[in-house]
Amino acid sequence: MNTMFPWRPPLEENWAARVAELEAIAAAGEMPDYAATRSVANQQLGPRQQLRIERLGKRLGKIKGNGFTRIELGLLGNRTLSYLCDPLGAAGLARGLLVSAHEAPYDGVAGFAFSAKNCFERGLDAVLAVLDESTLQGERPLLDRAAEDEAVQEAERIASAIAEAARSKTGCPAIIATLPPCIQLTSADIATPGSIARFRLRVNMMLGDGAAEGRWLMWDQAALASRIGIERWFDPIAYHSAKVPFNVELCPLAADNIASLLAAMTGKSARALVLDLDNTLWGGVIGDDGLAGIRIGQNSAEGEAFVAFQNFVLGLRKRGVVLAVCSKNTDAVAREPFRRHPDMLLKEEHIAVFQANWDDKATNVRAIAEKLGLGLESLAYVDDNPAERERVRRELPLVSTIEVGEDPSFFIDRVAGSGLFDHLPLNCDDLARANSYGGRAAVAEIRARV
């Protein structure tokens, strides 16, 4: 699939006409429909469609209206970040945000961090600092551990100063980007004090520890660059000629990754994952193939892919994501694998709402939201069947229906890549959330029977 956003639905045939309608409403000074705007932005956009959504985002940012959460974001770096501004606006629309990005003067890191002046000259909701290694590094002779320790401490001093300046000057948190991996000279670089590769790893761990302590938030640029591949992420020509920290062509993807963090900051991450069963949690159809006929585990590539996906889903639950089942099936038949199949990792007690009947999927997803006491925008939906995905998207556009495809080998990549479950550093309340929603659903079930 040749797209930056494989988890988004394919571009609709009438996409251009839908956008034209929204543009006309915006041109008249009115805010277009929230769900419709999110829908056209959250598709597999090509370069032309991307530019059109970027222009729409800029226009909507000037219009008063409800629905979207507005974010004023400062961009701070010692490289050029202006290429991110418009893509951030487009990425925000896909996640229910109106993001207005403001770039600090070039190479203004020290001035923002250590002077009394606020170079943004406005209040902000967050400051994103994307720092080049040259801003952080001190002298690091190879094999000199003490010098490396001092360089990491200097990097922490700069990060702390940026975070404090963001709080005192703009009244907002700082988001500090991790350093992307470098092209290594040798496999021994990680074991060599003073090497670039080792220094970046240590700085990134320091930034992670600071985020865990609540000193700042973190955008894991390193994780995204690793996923893309460092040769594709880093453009040496643009880096030296235009001072761009990463490939300009990847700005829409970087912006979407940042927007997922902004969505988490504003409570717009998905809180529940709604799962189909047949060919989504196991291979085959339980109603036709029976317990012995469905494919899960059993030393087959397909079966192991389903086990891996279930393990991933359990990991989401451990992070506080509530799980629900939405299946066209007889209830007792649908529950049988959870109760009796030896390779099933997911059990009934992991599922807060088990909606198995012969109603259409959209109706059942809506019922799940009601039982959980959540808005539709808090739900993400996974189904291997493209027709079912399309129906849920059409009837419930606020539900985030993930384009997982039909091959279970790619389910984890699609769900994780969507960024829908991005979150801030976890706390005990987050870990207990899935159980609390399960209790809420149980109460709703009891009341419905009375």
Q: How far is CA 75 from CA 9, 125, 163, 274, in A?
A: 30, 11, 13, 35
Q: Which residues are 74's β-sheet partners? A: 102, 127
Judged by DSSP in three states, 338 sits in: helix
The maximal CA–CA distance of the chain, rounded, in angstroms, is: 74
| Structure token digits, residue 268 | 């717009």
- Fold classified for 272-449: Rossmann fold (3.40.50)
Class of domain 68-265: alpha beta
**Cβ(141)–Cβ(127) below 8 Å:** no
Average pLDDT over residues 375-384: 98
Least confident of 137-146, 181-190, 309-318: 137-146
Alpha-carbon separation of residue 297 from 315, 327, 346, 351, 406 (angstroms): 18, 21, 13, 20, 17
Helices 361-372, 428-449: inter-axial angle, 10-degree rounding = 110
Helix (H) or strand (E) holding 100: strand 97-103
Does residue 291 contact residue 341 with C-beta atoms inside 8 Å?
yes
Q: Per-domain residue ranges for the chain?
A: 1-67, 68-265, 272-449
Please check whether residue 268 is in contact with residue 69, taking contact to mean a CB–CB distance below 8 angstroms: yes
Q: State how far the Cα of 48 lies from the Cα of 46, in Å rounded to an integer.
A: 6
Q: Residue 320 is encoded by which pair of tokens?
A: 């506080």
Confidence of residue 446 (pLDDT cuts 50, 70, 90): very low
Instruction: Find all residues with CB under 8 Å of 229, minimum gap 6, and list them.
Output: none
At 226-273, the pLDDT tens digits run 999 999 999 999 888 888 899 999 999 999 999 999 999 999 999 999
Contact by Cβ (8 Å): 344, 291: no
- Return the CA Rg of the chain: 24
pLDDT for res 239: 87
Q: Is the pLDDT of residue 450 over 80?
A: no
Q: Quick check: 343 pLDDT over 60? A: yes
Which three-class secondary structure state does DSSP give residue 36? helix
Higher per-residue pLDDT: 439 or 348 = 348
Please choose, from the candidates 411, 207, 427, the residue with its C-alpha nearest in 3D space to the C-alpha of residue 319.
Answer: 427
Task: Tell me the average pLDDT of the chain.
Answer: 93
Distance (Å, whole) CA 131 – CA 129: 6
Which has the closest alpha carbon to 396: 380, 415, 378, 376? Answer: 376
For the segment 287-317, what is each residue's pLDDT rounded down to a tens digit? 999 999 999 998 899 999 999 999 999 999 9
